[in-house]
Chains A and B, each alone.
Chain A
Amino acid sequence: MIRIDSVTKRYPDGTVAVDRLSLEIPDRSITVLVGPSGCGKTTTLRMINRMIEPSEGTILIDGVDIQKQPVNTLRRGMGYVIQNAGLFQHRTIVDNIATVPRLLGWSKDRARGRARELMTRVGLDASLASRYPYQLSGGQQQRVGVARALAADPPVLLMDEPFSAVDPIVRKGLQEELLRIQEELGKTIVFVTHDIDEAIRLGTMVAVMRTGGHLAQYAPPAELLSSPADAFVEDFLGADRGIRRLSFFTSAGLELTTAPVVALDTTARQLAAREAEIAEVAAPHLLVTDLDGKPLGWCAPEDFPGAEPGRLLSFGRPFEFGKDSLRAALDCAVLSPTGWAVAVDAEGRAVGVASQETIGEAIRAAHAERRKADVAG
């Protein structure tokens, strides 16, 4: 555990970057420091590896004051990932990654072997090993940055806006990769970002900081969204926090119906037999699937037998039942031309459909349950 104990950073000109900050960063989880520029989040991060020395207060790692050991020993025991990767442009990818192991006295072969192993781990092709940084894309460079930080297998990983200089698609890929790596390795990660969405996506705990180096709120992301501590946090979370909060509710409790789901080879007679059922759920359209059960599109009931797969109404994007959140389900319903969301299983076969009303009910139920849990807990 990293314990930041009433730490203040005051510069000679009187500027206070961090003001009496106390924070307990749990082991084997991602703790995100988020806030607008000038809130002291990067300063806080850099005080953990002593690139900036605090003016007051102490920082303890597993109960030991970080001032108690030589600064370079401390730093070699922490991975550091920076914006734009900060790779050594004059060294090959494999040697970039091998930097800290070499500093720790590993042999060249062992360090390079380890570096190659890490390249695979972060999703880099082995053929890139002897390339130079300029030959890689921004996203690949950032992966090298992550691999380099992990090279000596440090328990702590400090990440300073690592993904903010890449485009949104690459960023999403890198975030997913980080979550996957974290699941495998279980590092204690301190992650700095100004992007609240990134914070909520990655953080086990999120510390929202405000200008002047004050901690505004320190809570798990779901709690942050449901009960922001003050107007600043609420404002920082943005206008759609209600929608985003739905990311934390599973779609597993959603009541799906299979009544309007018909396979392409369903006959008029079979359809007629299900008419009452379909009328009961008040589905204005039928979801046509192929013989394998994969959704093809929506079709008006009167057109159904004989509908051409190419002329069906698009069903938009399906959500994976039980795995995706209610937010994804709602999004699918809103995007769907019929107003109904299509739920699929892991193989992409339709398992049912849900109307916006059904999803609305599920949301209300989830909120009620969460409130009950909050009262109880």
Chain B
Amino acid sequence: MNGFFDIPSDLQHSWLGLIGLHLREALIPVAVGLLLALPIGQLCVRVRWLYPPVLWVTTILYAVPSLAFFVVLIDYTGQSETTVMIPLAVYSLVVLVPAIVDGVRSVPQETLAAATAMGLGPVRRYLQVQLPIAVPALIAGLRVATVSSISLVSVGTLIGNQGALGNLLADAMFYHRPVLAVNSVVTTAVLAIVIDALLVLLRKVLTPWAPPASGGSRSAGRGGRRTPGRAAKQRSVVRPRPAALAVQDTAPVKDTAR
């Protein structure tokens, strides 16, 4: 009972079970974040002055440690998965809103003018032109959000073993089995890499129209042939702020500090 895949019974899950749990806790918040970010992003595009204040608010939310969220949320949602997922959804939102706004704004003016002139109303314009063209930027944002979400789930271990694979970190200490910590870190990392690769694949499937030169793994710049400046701006979408980068690059162990 000391092997790499032998999970202590207090976690009530097999290794695969923990992976499933981990994915659920990580991906549902991203999906919720996306659902919220789409209308918020569209609002920010239509009402230009709204974008800076929205950015301020989301940035401040991003700076709130998840522990602080837990303290507040535990009174309402208890020691549950929901408590873990709410802050993660907020963090996803923070990454996705700028990705959507910049993606939609990257649609060239003449393309929009042509769409309007051909008699596409605002709804059709959004669904048939702006959103599809924003897909690369959107997926770039999703990649950051997903990877950071996968690593942050581990924090849930602090509120009654709701951290899925992160719970192995606590157990490693309880049972003096460092191998569990290794398992947690490696599995989480592999999970993040696999999901990231799937998202890259998804982008390739969804955007056969993207020029391969600017279709590199991190670039979201489209129509970039004429506007290299825009491509450069797009890169900042992928990494909205240094904080996101730090989250993405750190191991789950460090994330417990949140």
Contact A134 B115, CB 8 Å, known A86-B108, A91-B209, A103-B120: no
Counting chain A CB atoms within 10 Å of each CB, the highest count among B108, B114, B222 belongs to B114
In chain A between 79 and 96, which residues have their CB closer than 8 angstroms to a CB of chain B?
A: 80, 82-92
- Determine, out of A70-78, A211-219, A320-328, the stretch whose residues face the partner at the interface: A70-78
A75 B208 Cβ-Cβ under 8 A = no
Q: A84–B222 Cα gap in the complex (Å)?
A: 15
Q: Mark B124-154, 1 if CB is under 8 A from A, else 0.
A: 1000010011010000000000000000000
Distance in Å: Cβ of B253 to nearest Cβ of chain A: 42
Asked whether B211 is an interface residue with its Cβ less than 8 Å from the other chain, the reply is yes
B108 A84 Cβ-Cβ under 8 A = yes
List, in ascending order, chain A residues with CB within 8 A of B113's CB. 51, 82, 86
Residue in chain B with minimal CB distance to A77: B119
Residue in chain A with minimal CB distance to B223: A89
Asked whether B217 is an interface residue with its Cβ less than 8 Å from the other chain, the reply is no
Q: A74–B116 Cα gap in the complex (Å)?
A: 11
List, in ascending order, chain A residues with CB within 8 A of B115's CB. 86, 88
Q: Mark B190-217, 1 if CB is under 8 A from A, else 0.
A: 0000000000000000011111000000
B117 A80 Cβ-Cβ under 8 A = yes
Counting chain B CB atoms within 10 Å of each CB, the highest count among A74, A86, A91, A158 belongs to A86
Number of A-B residue pairs with CB-CB distance less than 8 Å in the complex they form: 76
Asked whether A248 is an interface residue with its Cβ less than 8 Å from the other chain, the reply is no
Asked whether B121 is an interface residue with its Cβ less than 8 Å from the other chain, the reply is yes
List, in ascending order, chain B residues with CB within 8 A of A99's CB. 118
Contact A133 B209, CB 8 Å, known A88-B129, A100-B119: yes
List, in ascending order, chain A residues with CB within 8 A of B132's CB. 90
Residue in chain B with minimal CB distance to A165: B226
B111 A73 Cβ-Cβ under 8 A = no
Q: A90–B110 Cα gap in the complex (Å)?
A: 14
Distance in Å: Cβ of A371 to nearest Cβ of chain B: 44
A86 B114 Cβ-Cβ under 8 A = yes
Asked whether A132 is an interface residue with its Cβ less than 8 Å from the other chain, the reply is yes
Asked whether B233 is an interface residue with its Cβ less than 8 Å from the other chain, the reply is no
Tell me the dominant secondary structure on chain A's binding face. Answer: mixed
A75 B117 Cβ-Cβ under 8 A = yes
Residue in chain A with minimal CB distance to B109: A86
Q: Mark B204-244, 1 if CB is under 8 A from A, else 0.
A: 00011111000000000011011000000000000000000
B207 A134 Cβ-Cβ under 8 A = no
List, in ascending order, chain B residues with CB within 8 A of A148's CB. 114, 118
A76 B119 Cβ-Cβ under 8 A = yes
In chain A between 124 and 138, which residues have their CB closer than 8 angstroms to a CB of chain B?
A: 132-135
Residue in chain A with minimal CB distance to B134: A90
List, in ascending order, chain B residues with CB within 8 A of A8's CB. none
List, in ascending order, chain A residues with CB within 8 A of B111's CB. 86-89
B133 A89 Cβ-Cβ under 8 A = yes
B110 A89 Cβ-Cβ under 8 A = no
Q: A68–B50 Cα gap in the complex (Å)?
A: 35
A134 B226 Cβ-Cβ under 8 A = no
B110 A51 Cβ-Cβ under 8 A = no
Q: A134–B124 Cα gap in the complex (Å)?
A: 23
A103 B118 Cβ-Cβ under 8 A = yes
List, in ascending order, chain A residues with CB within 8 A of B211's CB. 134-135
Asked whether A250 is an interface residue with its Cβ less than 8 Å from the other chain, the reply is no
List, in ascending order, chain A residues with CB within 8 A of B108's CB. 84, 86
Contact of A100 among B110, B116, B118, B225 (CB under 8 A): B118
List, in ascending order, chain A residues with CB within 8 A of B120's CB. 72, 103
List, in ascending order, chain A residues with CB within 8 A of B121's CB. 72
List, in ascending order, chain B residues with CB within 8 A of A193's CB. none
Contact A90 B114, CB 8 Å, known A75-B119, A76-B119: no
Chain B residues near A (Cβ < 8 Å): 108, 110-121, 124, 129, 132-133, 135, 207-211, 222-223, 225-226
- 14 A-B pairs (CB sep. < 8 Å): A51-B113, A51-B116, A51-B117, A72-B120, A73-B119, A82-B114, A83-B110, A84-B108, A84-B110, A88-B111, A89-B111, A89-B223, A92-B209, A158-B117
Known: A90-B135, A103-B124. 8 other contacts (CB 8 A): A51-B117, A75-B116, A75-B118, A82-B110, A82-B117, A87-B111, A103-B118, A132-B209
* CB-CB nearest 8 A-B residue pairs: A86-B114, A80-B117, A86-B110, A75-B119, A76-B119, A72-B119, A132-B209, A134-B211
